C-alpha cells in the first residue's frame, strides 16, 4: 500500500479541480506547459495489470460534464489516484494473478473499463484497434448468486454452462459451490478441467445424447443424467448402467420466449411405460426434471409444473422407485425473479410438504450472467438512405433516417437476437471524442447493422440516436452476457470480441477473496 499512501500525500482533491501538494512534481497538473491553473475533473483509467510493479495510469483530462477528452502524452503518465478511489487495493491485487493462464482481473466499475477500451482504441495504431469488446463485471454474477440464495435457499443452482461458458464465470460459480448443468462432452470436460469440481456436481441435462457422450460421461464418473424416451434408456443401459436417471417431463411453456417443450419432455401419459421400461432394464431413476421454457414471463407456470412433478413422484412410487431429486429447470427472468421464487416456493410447500429426503435443484443460466456483460462497439460506417424514387411518399418520422454499421453483429455477439429472441438497445458510449451526451442532444430514428455482407445482420431495426453520431464513435450495449459470445462465429472473417474482466463495485474485495481461496484449493488438490 506504500504507493497508495504516497499518492494520498501527493495529491488532494478539492471541488472544481486539483491543488498541488508535497511530493507532486510542479507543472504536471492543469496543463502541459507547466502552468498551475485550476484543472477540471481528471479521470484515471487503468489500462494494464501490473506484474512486478504497479503499472502506470493513463491520465485523461475531462471537463466537469465529461465532455472534452484529452489523452495526455506518455511522459504525462503518473501514479496519480484520487484518495477515495475504488482502485486503492490495485497494486497488491494485480501483482499476484489469481488464475495463471487467464486474462487479467481488474478492479473498478465496468463503465470505467468500457471507457478504457475506447481510449486505448483511439491511441493505438494497431489495424484492429477499434475492435468490439466485452466488459465482464464478475460482481454482478456474485450479487445474483447471493440474491438466489436469499430468495430460494432450498433450491441448489446448477448453472447452465451453455448460456455462457466463460472461464471466470465458471470458476467463480465453482468457488461459490454451485453445480453445473452440462449438455455435451465439451461442457463436461470444461467444468472438470477447472479443478476441485467433483463429477457429482454435474447433471448431464440433455435428454437425447449420442451413445459416445453417454459412454464418455461414464468414464468421467458423471452419473446424473436426464432422459425422456425409451430409446435413451436402451442407450444408457448399454453404455452407463450405473447412471442415476432423471425423467424430464413436459410442462406448459407457452409463455416462454424459447419454448423447449416442442423438443423435450415426456407427457404424463407416457410416464408409467417409461418407468416400467427403466425397471425392466435395471436402471436407477432417482428423480424428475422439468423446464418451463427459457425467458418465461409468467411466474405462475411453476405452480402447474410442480403439481405435475408431484404426480410423477407418485407414479414412481407405484413403479417401485423412491425419487430423491426434483429439478425445476431454468428460464428465470431477472425482472420477475422474486415473483417466480414466491410461486415456486409456495408450490413446493403445497405439493412437497415433507421433503426431508428430497434434493431440489435448478438450472439457471441467463439469471446469473445476463447483466454481468456489456459490449462496446465501434461505428465503422454511416449511410443515409437514398432519396425515395419519384412518386413514392416521403419517409415517415418512424422510418430510420440513418443507417449505422458497427463492428459486431448477429453472426457474432448479437446472435442472441436470432437464437434467443432478444431485443437490444444501444446507448452512446462516446461521441465526437466525448463520453458525455447532452440531454438536449437532437435525436433521429436510426437503424444499427452488423459488419457482415448478409442483410439479415440487423442489430436494431429502429433506435433513437443522436444526429451528431459519426464514424469512429462508439455504441454500447448492456445485458449481453446470455447466449452471446458462446455462440459467436467468425463468419466473413470477423473476429469474436474479446473480454475484459473486472471485480466491479459490489463487494469486490470479498469477491476476489472467494476466487483466491478457490485457486489455492485447486493448487493444493493438484499437489
The DSSP code sequence of 23-51 is: TSPTTSSS-TTS--PPP--EEEEE-S--S
Per the annotation, the verdict on 258 as an active-site residue is no
Give the orientation angle of helix 301-318 with respect to helix 271-280, to 10 degrees. Answer: 40
- Per-residue pLDDT, 380: 95
- Could you give the CA distance from residue 191 to residue 171 in angstroms, rounded to a whole number? 9
3-state secondary structure of 414: helix
Q: What is the DSSP string of 318-333?
A: HTT----EEE------
**Mean pLDDT of successive 10-residue stretches along the chain, which has 527 residues:** 38 33 33 35 37 36 36 32 35 60 93 92 77 96 98 98 97 98 97 96 98 98 98 98 98 82 91 98 98 86 96 98 97 93 98 96 96 96 74 65 91 86 93 90 93 90 93 96 82 82 93 94 73
Predicted pLDDT of residue 392: 62
- Which cell numbers hold the place of 369? 450472467
**What's residue 71's pLDDT?**
39
106, 49 Cβ separation under 8 angstroms: yes
Alpha helices in 29-176 (DSSP H): 90-95, 110-123, 138-151, 167-175
Residue with cell string 495526455: 72
Decide if 107 contacts 137 (C-beta within 8 A). Answer: no
Residue in 422, 288, 298 with CA at minimum distance from that of residue 366: 422
How would you label 87-110 residue by residue, b for 16+ Cβ within 10 Å and e otherwise?
bbbbbebbeeebbeeeebbbbbbb
State which fold the 140-367 domain adopts. Answer: TIM Barrel (3.20.20)
Choose, from 51, 94, 208, 453, the residue flagged as catalytic. 453
pTM: 0.81
Number of H helices, E strands in the chain: 14, 24
Given this model, what pLDDT does residue 416 score? 87
**pLDDT at residue 397 in the model:** 60
Domain positions in the chain: 1-96, 140-367
pLDDT of residue 399: 73
Amino acid at each position: 500500500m506504500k504507493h497508495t499512501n504516497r499518492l494520498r500525500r501527493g495529491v488532494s482533491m478539492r471541488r472544481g479541480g486539483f491543488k498541488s501538494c508535497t511530493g507532486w512534481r510542479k507543472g504536471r497538473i492543469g496543463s502541459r506547459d507547466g502552468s498551475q491553473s485550476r484543472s477540471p475533473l481528471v479521470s484515471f483509467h487503468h489500462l494494464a495489470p501490473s506484474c512486478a510493479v504497479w503499472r502506470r495510469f493513463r491520465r485523461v483530462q475531462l471537463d466537469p460534464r465529461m465532455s472534452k477528452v484529452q489523452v495526455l502524452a506518455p511522459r504525462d503518465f503518473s501514479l496519480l489516484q484520487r484518495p477515495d478511489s475504488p482502485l486503492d487495493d490495485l497494486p497488491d491485487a494485480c501483482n499476484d494473478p489469481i488464475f495463471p493462464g487467464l486474462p487479467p482481473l481488474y478492479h473498478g466499475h465496468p463503465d470505467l473499463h468500457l471507457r478504457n477500451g475506447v481510449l486505448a482504441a483511439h491511441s493505438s495504431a494497431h489495424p484492429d484497434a477499434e475492435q468490439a469488446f466485452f466488459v465482464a463485471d464478475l460482481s454482478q454474477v456474485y450479487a445474483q448468486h447471493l440474491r438466489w440464495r436469499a430468495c430460494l435457499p432450498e433450491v441448489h443452482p446448477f448453472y447452465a454452462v451453455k448460456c455462457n461458458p466463460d472461464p471466470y464465470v465458471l470458476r467463480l460459480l465453482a468457488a461459490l459451490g454451485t453445480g453445473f448443468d452440462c449438455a455435451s462432452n465439451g461442457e463436461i470436460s470444461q467444468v472438470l478441467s477447472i479443478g476441485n469440481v467433483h463429477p457429482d456436481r454435474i447433471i448431464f441435462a440433455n435428454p437425447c445424447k449420442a451413445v459416445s457422450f453417454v459412454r464418455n460421461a461414464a468414464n468421467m464418473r458423471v452419473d446424473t443424467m436426464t432422459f425422456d424416451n425409451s430409446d435413451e434408456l436402451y442407450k444408457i443401459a448399454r453404455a452407463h448402467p450405473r447412471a442415476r436417471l432423471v425423467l424430464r417431463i413436459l410442462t406448459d411453456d407457452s409463455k416462454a420466449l424459447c419454448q423447449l417443450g416442442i423438443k423435450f419432455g415426456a407427457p404424463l401419459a407416457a410416464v408409467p411405460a417409461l418407468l416400467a421400461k427403466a425397471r425392466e432394464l435395471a436402471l436407477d431413476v432417482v428423480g424428475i426434471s422439468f423446464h418451463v421454457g427459457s425467458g418465461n414471463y409468467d411466474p405462475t407456470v411453476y405452480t402447474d409444473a410442480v403439481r405435475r412433478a408431484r404426480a410423477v413422484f407418485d407414479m414412481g412410487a407405484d413403479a417401485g422407485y423412491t425419487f430423491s431429486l426434483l429439478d425445476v429447470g431454468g428460464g428465470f427472468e431477472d425482472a420477475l425473479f422474486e415473483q417466480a421464487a414466491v410461486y415456486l416456493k409456495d408450490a413446493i410447500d403445497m405439493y412437497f410438504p415433507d421433503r426431508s429426503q428430497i434434493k431440489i435443484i435448478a438450472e439457471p443460466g441467463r439469471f446469473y450472467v445476463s447483466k454481468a456483460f456489456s459490449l462496446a462497439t465501434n461505428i465503422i460506417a454511416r449511410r443515409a438512405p437514398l432519396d425515395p424514387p419519384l412518386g413514392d411518399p416521403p419517409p415517415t418520422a418512424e422510418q430510420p433516417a440513418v443507417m449505422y454499421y458497427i463492428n459486431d453483429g448477429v453472426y457474432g455477439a448479437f446472435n442472441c437476437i436470432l437464437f434467443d429472441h432478444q431485443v437490444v438497445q444501444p446507448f452512446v458510449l462516446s461521441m465526437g471524442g466525448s463520453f458525455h451526451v447532452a440531454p438536449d442532444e437532437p435525436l433521429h430514428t436510426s437503424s444499427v447493422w452488423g459488419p457482415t455482407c448478409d442483410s439479415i445482420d440487423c442489430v436494431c431495426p429502429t433506435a433513437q440516436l443522436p444526429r451528431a453520431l459519426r464514424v469512429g464513435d462508439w455504441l454500447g450495449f448492456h445485458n449481453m452476457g446470455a447466449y452471446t459470445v458462446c455462440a459467436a462465429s467468425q463468419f466473413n472473417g470477423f473476429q469474436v470480441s474479446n473480454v475484459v474482466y473486472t471485480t466491479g463495485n459490489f463487494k469486490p474485495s470479498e469477491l476476489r477473496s472467494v476466487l483466491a481461496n478457490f485457486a489455492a484449493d485447486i493448487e493444493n488438490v493438484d499437489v
